[in-house]
Structure formats: C-alpha cells, structure tokens
A and B are shown apart, each in its own frame.
Chain A
Amino acid sequence: MEKIPILKMGQFLLVTIQIDLYDRLALNLEADLVQMVSKTGARGVLIDISAVSIVDSFMGRIIGNIASMSKIMDAETVVVGMQPAVAITLIELGLPLTGVHTALDVEKGMALLRKKILVDGEEDDVDDDGADYGSE
C-alpha cells in the first residue's frame, strides 16, 4: 500500500504529496502525521500539495483537521503550492480553511514557519523579524 513519507527537518516536518489523494491515504496521513508530531515534538508542519490537482470536500476537511490537530499539539501548519483550480474548488465548497496558514511555495512556507515560531517562541524580538525573515 502507498504511503506518504513524512520527513523531519530540524524543528519541522515536511510532507510532500506527489500523488492524487484518495480517502484511505488521506486518513492514514492524518494519523501518521499526528503520531510524528508527538514523537518528534516538531514545532511546524509544512504540507506541499502542488501536485494535487483534484480535491473534494472530504480532502478539504482532512487538511483542515490536520491543521487543527497540529495546532492543539503546538505545531503550526502551513499548506503550500495550492493550485488555482484547487483553491477555487475549496472556496466553492465553502471550505476557506480559516485555521490554516498558506504560502506560495516551499521556500516561502519555510520562511513563514520560521517567522511564526520565532514570534511565538522565547526570542521575543518581533520588531526585528525583518532580518530573520530569510536568514535564519
């Protein structure tokens, strides 16, 4: 059975979905990811869905669920690389994914995650995050 790999990169978990999701796979991913977050104590999760061209309401809900679950476990979720057609579909389905952060590509998503964790974390230098934006 196919499995979507979850890669650990420092404080973050990286998930790239390279195939079109079907229901069972999405459910497994949800379970695996929550397990991984608790096991590694990751502070951020980055999900790249640039290769996903079809979504339905179920998939939209799963993405929303993953975000909420990670948030409860103190990890921010960023969804990156959503295709225009997918975005329009989700909106038309009435799933604006309000709790989920989004970014255009993996690079920008990583920068966003770093910024988020920095702002929320102990290093309380909000005014100075311009310098940390891409350099850290």
Chain B
Amino acid sequence: MKIEISKMLQKKKKQIIDLWMKNQMADATLRDDLISNEDLRSQSEELVDALLKKLTDENLTNIDSADFDDVYEILGGISITRARQGFSPRETGTYIFSLKDALLTILQQEIKNDPAQLYEATLKVSKLIDSFGIVTFETFIKGREEVILRQTSEITEISTPVIRVWDGILALPIIGTLDSARTQVVMENLLQEIVNTGSSIAILDISGVPAVDSLVAQHLIKTVSATRLMGAECIISGIRPEIAQTVVHLGIDLSNVITKATLASALKHAYSILQLEVRKKQLAQNSSKTN
C-alpha cells in the first residue's frame, strides 16, 4: 500500500509545529533577544500552514511548482526581516533546516514498517526543504545588499560638504574612495557652490582618500579642469607620502595642478593668490601709536 505523504503530513500539522518549535527552543543559536517566542511561533505556524495547504504528492518532487509561490513569499518576508533585525546567516539557515528535522521525525514515526518508502519520502522532503533553504539564503543576502546600497547612497550624500573657509575660498574634504558616481556628485556640488558664493579658489583635500590609482587621479584632474573652466582656481591638498609615491609610480602627470601637502599650506597659497595676509595682532600700545 502506498502512503500519501502530503495527506499524512497535513494530518500531523499540529505535531509538526510543536516539534519544530521544540527543536528551535532546544537549539543553542536561538535568539530570544531578537524575536519573542510568541512571534516565532506565529511565524512558524504561518509557514507550515502555507506549506501544508499547497503540498501534494505531485508537487513534492517539483520544487519550482507555482503552488509554492505563497511559501516562497512568506520565506522571503521572514528572511528579509531577519536580515534587517541582525540575525546571522547561520541562525536564519538553522531556522529553516530545523523544520526538516521535525518533518523527518514525523515521517519516521508514521512509516515505521516500510524502510524503502521511508527512504523515498525522506529524500523528497529533504530536497524540498533544501530548496527552501536556498531561497531563504538568496533573499537574506538580497536583504543585506539592500541595506548596503542604502548606506552607500547615504554616505555619498553626507560625505561631500563644501565648506566656505574664507571669503572667496572654498574647501572640500573628500573622505573615502572616489569612484565615477561620487566624483560626479563632488564636482556638481563644488561647481554649484562656486557659482553661489562667487569664490575664485577651491581647495580639494584628499587626506581622507585611502588610495589614489590612475582612475581616481583622472577623476581629480577632471574636477580641477572643470573648476578652471568655471574661472576658479583649484588646489589639491592633503597629499600623503604614499599617495605621492603611487602617483609618480603610475606615471600620472599632475604638473598642471597646484598640489600642497596640507590643507594649511593650501590655504596659505590661496591667501597669497588673493593677496591676503594673516598676521599676529600687534600690542595695543604699538597699534595706538601707529594709528
């Protein structure tokens, strides 16, 4: 007599959930600090519900079946929430794979007398849950990637402040790696600010740029040329010894660009272009005499 695995599992739903919960509770990686037991239970129940409702003996072997769309959706939801809550991949994986343990235990109890059939059923269920596991991982990683993308765009937005250091002098400290997209943002911000403030000197400080390769240098040269086209002078400051070494080794020609080692010396140079002078205040007696 052939036993219908799906029917049998559907009948044992309550037991499966209980067993699964027990497995999860017993597991050392249980994170009751991130999710309460009630939430975990309702989450698990929802998943088992959706799975068993759609499970038939036909689609048990067909993991791509459209019947499982609901299940994948719930899995995706769980996985993404867990990625955001800060679960580790192992914890999320263990969550799904502990369902397999529960299902297999039930199968074992029910099909005691027929090892061949038990083997076959075990194989099918394993395969199904494995595929669920993979989907979980995919969505988990996607969730993490979304977090990373969002942070990247936030960093791009906040990390390009244009500072007005003096009348007619702008400074733009660049922190982090310069790629094409960031260069574009930096360039646009800088040029717009030059127009707004009517500044004639811009200082580009790259002490926060970890490494300069030929691409980054090209981006810098582009920014300098664009500034020059606008009618302002651009000084690159914050060139560390390592950067100077790489630039020369790469054969990048920065001879048309004013470069300074520190922001202070760049500012000094800017003052001299604007014919300004910073001087120590003279003593009150002296100044009153001269006046």
Q: Which of A48-95 contact B (CB under 8 A)?
A: 79-84, 86-88, 90-92
Identify the closest chain B residue to A131 (Cβ). B275
- Contact between A82 and B229, CB atoms less than 8 A apart: yes
Q: A80 CA to B200 CA in the complex, in Å?
A: 12
B51 within 8 A of partner (CB): no
Q: A87 CA to B184 CA in the complex, in Å?
A: 12
B230 within 8 A of partner (CB): yes
- Contact between A80 and B231, CB atoms less than 8 A apart: yes
Identify the closest chain B residue to A105 (Cβ). B198
Q: A104 CA to B229 CA in the complex, in Å?
A: 9
Contacts of A91 in B (CB 8 A): 222, 225-226, 229
- Contact between B231 and A81, CB atoms less than 8 A apart: yes
Interface of B is mostly: helix
Stretch at the interface among B94-102, B189-197, B241-249, B282-290: B189-197
Contacts of A10 in B (CB 8 A): none
Question: Beyond A91-B225, A104-B198, is A84–B188 a contact (Cβ under 8 Å)?
Answer: yes
Closest-CB distance, B225 to chain A (whole angstroms): 4
Q: A84 CA to B194 CA in the complex, in Å?
A: 9
A109 within 8 A of partner (CB): yes
Identify the closest chain B residue to A103 (Cβ). B231
- Contact between B275 and A87, CB atoms less than 8 A apart: no
Identify the closest chain B residue to A102 (Cβ). B231
Query: Mask for A97-125, Cβ within 8 A of B = 1, else 0?
Result: 10000111100110000000000000000
Of residues A83, A87, A102, which shows the largest number of chain B Cβ atoms within 10 Å of its Cβ? A87
Partner of B230, one of A87, A92, A130, A133: A87
Identify the closest chain A residue to B191 (Cβ). A84
A96 within 8 A of partner (CB): yes
Question: Beyond A88-B191, A104-B194, is A82–B230 a contact (Cβ under 8 Å)?
Answer: yes
Closest-CB distance, A15 to chain B (whole angstroms): 16
Contacts of A109 in B (CB 8 A): 231
Q: Which of B164-213 contact A (CB under 8 A)?
A: 184, 187-188, 191-192, 194-195, 198-200
Contacts of B195 in A (CB 8 A): 83-84, 104
Q: A86 CA to B225 CA in the complex, in Å?
A: 12
Task: Count residues of A near B (Cβ-Cβ below 8 Å).
Answer: 22
- Contact between B192 and A82, CB atoms less than 8 A apart: no
Contacts of B226 in A (CB 8 A): 84, 87-88, 90-91
Query: Mask for B210-252, Cβ within 8 A of A = 1, else 0?
Result: 0000000000001001111111100000000000000000000
Identify the closest chain A residue to B233 (Cβ). A102
Of residues B194, B228, B229, which shows the largest number of chain A Cβ atoms within 10 Å of its Cβ? B229
Q: List 7 A-B contacts (CB under 8 A).
A: A79-B231, A84-B191, A87-B229, A88-B187, A103-B200, A103-B231, A104-B231
What would 13 more interface pairs be, CB under 8 Å, given A79-B229, A97-B229, A104-B200? A79-B231, A84-B187, A84-B195, A84-B230, A87-B227, A88-B187, A91-B222, A91-B225, A96-B228, A96-B229, A102-B230, A104-B198, A108-B231
Interface residues of B (CB under 8 A from A): 184, 187-188, 191-192, 194-195, 198-200, 222, 225-232, 275
The 9 closest A-B pairs by CB, nearest first: A84-B191, A102-B231, A103-B231, A87-B229, A96-B225, A104-B231, A87-B226, A91-B226, A130-B275
